[in-house]
């Protein structure tokens, strides 16, 4: 006879699948003992750059029970965003695939609310909170513990069947469930992501210096972009997919079926010139509900200007 925890677990995973999640795995809510010294060192070395928010709520990042009273389970979920569609003009400044459609925070939050509502209506009064990349939760660590995949040498989570083009999110609840187990690392001797990173952000296998990542420069950094990295962005104006594009496991990626992630009709058609002459009106129209709004119009303009070749200075005579 199936235990109550097993029954609840099966119900939750079936509902997560129905809501469109690619994966659902569950781990015990407890203190992340192994990660504590790693996180402390990563912050001490300044690998978070100007992302000062990473220093906040250190204890909460390591213990979900400080985020949800009496937390017993961390439900980790993955939502596919892969698309084979690319921008038509190969010379156009590039946008990471994850930002093609509607901001994933809104899309996933709605699905998480539906899942939590299902849990409460089917099981009873369950305390819990939904988290999508905007709270002190170590998504990749919990997803790894829940068996959704392993952290690759680029530090993104990789799944053997589906690659790495998926978002991560969590429900932390005060309900005892059946727990999954981590999967093995399948990176082997491959170093394609390390070799391909133009800014050297992957400083060693499984180690990322966030302050050197193209995504950090084009999204998180609000100051002037440093001259030291000019010419190293390989035409990325918002985010970067290089380490994922070269990963052999992404040959198993399949197109998402989430209508909200479809790009604005104009986005993929815009030429290099269109981007260089981008107006605030076009920016507002194309990115009305997009994650690109994080960079703001002025930030995207800054990034596009930064991609232009600098004139070579020389003396006459």
Q: How sure is the predictor about 76, in pLDDT bands with cuts at 50, 70 and 90?
A: very high
* Domain ranges, residue 246: 192-251+264-307
* Residue 210 domain-assigned (yes or no): yes
How much is the average pLDDT of 72-86? 97
Q: Which of 89, 114, 133, 274 is catalytic?
A: 133
Which structure tokens are listed for 256?
């998402």
CA-to-CA dists, residue 301 to 55, 141, 187, 297, angstroms: 29, 35, 37, 6
pLDDT of residue 310: 75
Q: In the predicted model, what is the mean pLDDT of residues 197-222?
A: 95
Is the CB of residue 172 less than 8 Å from the CB of residue 68? yes
- 133 is annotated as an active-site residue: yes
pLDDT at 149: 98
57 and 156 together in one domain:
yes
**129 found inside a domain:** yes
pLDDT range class, residue 31, cuts 50, 70, 90 = confident
Same domain, yes or no: 157 and 16:
yes
Q: Is the pLDDT of residue 315 over 50?
A: no
**pLDDT at 58 exceeding the cut of 80:** no
Are residues 196 and 278 located together in one domain of the fold? yes
Q: Write down the pLDDT at residue 2.
A: 67
Residue 50 or residue 306, greater confidence = 306
- In angstroms, the CA 119 to CA 15 distance is 9
For 230-285, the pLDDT digits (tens) are 999 999 999 999 999 999 999 999 999 999 999 999 999 999 999 999 999 999 99
* pLDDT score, position 133: 80
Specify the CATH number for the domain of residue 55.
3.40.109
What angle separates helix 104-123 from helix 4-18, to the nearest 10 degrees? 140
pLDDT digits (tens, 9 = 90+) for 82-135: 999 999 999 999 999 999 999 999 999 999 999 999 999 999 999 999 999 867
Q: What is the pLDDT of residue 52?
A: 60
73/24 same-domain check: yes
> Is 256 a domain residue?
no
Dihedral of the alpha carbons of 235, 236, 242, 245, in degrees to the nearest 10: -90
Is residue 186 a part of any domain in this protein?
no
Under a CB-based contact definition with an 8 Å cutoff, are residues 179 and 194 in contact?
A: no
Report the pLDDT averaged over residues 1-8: 86
Q: What is the 3-state secondary structure (H, E, C) of 215-284?
A: HHHHHHCCCCCCHHHCCCCCCEEECCCHHHHCCHHHHHCCCCCCHHHCCCCCHHHCCHHHHHCCCHHHHH
How high is the pLDDT of residue 51?
A: 59
pLDDT value at residue 41: 74
Please tell me whether residues 61 and 103 are part of one structural domain.
Answer: yes
pLDDT in tens, 287-308: 999 999 999 999 999 999 999 9
**Which phi and psi (to 5°) does residue 97 adopt?**
-55, -35
Q: Over the chain, what is the mean pLDDT?
A: 91
285 and 162 within one domain: no
d(CA 256, CA 263): 12
What pLDDT, in 10s, does the model give residues 130-187? 999 867 788 999 999 999 999 999 999 999 999 999 999 999 999 999 999 999 999 9
Hey, how many other C-beta atoms are within 10 angstroms of the C-beta on 129? 16
The structure's pTM equals 0.91
- In which band, very low, low, confident or very high, does the pLDDT at 34 lie, cut at 50, 70 and 90? confident
């Amino acid at each position: 006879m199936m235990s109550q925890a097993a029954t609840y677990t099966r119900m939750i995973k079936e509902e997560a699948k129905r809501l469109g999640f690619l994966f659902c795995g569950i781990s015990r809510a407890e203190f992340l003992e192994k990660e504590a010294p790693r996180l402390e060192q990563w912050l001490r070395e300044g690998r978070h750059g100007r992302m000062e928010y990473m220093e906040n709520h250190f204890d909460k990042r390591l213990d979900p029970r400080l985020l949800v009273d009496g937390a017993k389970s961390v439900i980790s979920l993955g939502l596919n965003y892969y698309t084979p569609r690319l921008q038509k003009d190969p010379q156009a400044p590039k946008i990471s695939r994850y930002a093609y459609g509607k901001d994933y925070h809104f899309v996933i939050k709605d699905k998480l609310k539906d899942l939590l509502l299902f849990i409460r209506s089917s099981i009873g009064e369950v305390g819990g909170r939904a988290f999508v990349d905007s709270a002190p939760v170590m998504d990749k660590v919990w997803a790894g513990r829940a068996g959704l995949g392993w952290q690759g040498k680029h530090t993104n989570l990789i799944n053997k069947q589906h690659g790495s083009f998926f978002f991560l999110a969590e429900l932390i609840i005060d309900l005892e469930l059946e727990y999954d187990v981590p999967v093995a690392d399948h990176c082997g001797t491959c170093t394609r992501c390390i070799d391909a990173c133009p800014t050297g952000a992957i400083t060693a296998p499984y180690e990322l210096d966030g302050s050197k990542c193209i995504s950090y420069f084009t999204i998180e950094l609000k100051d002037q972009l440093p001259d030291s990295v000019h010419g190293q962005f390989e035409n990325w104006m918002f985010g970067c997919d290089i380490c994922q594009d070269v990963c052999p496991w992404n040959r198993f990626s399949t197109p998402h079926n989430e209508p909200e992630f479809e790009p604005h009709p104009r986005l993929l058609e815009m030429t290099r010139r269109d981007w260089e002459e981008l107006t605030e009106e076009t920016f507002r129209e194309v990115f009305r509900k997009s994650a690109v709004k994080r960079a703001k119009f002025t930030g995207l303009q800054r990034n596009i200007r930064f991609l232009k070749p600098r004139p070579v200075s020389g003396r006459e005579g």
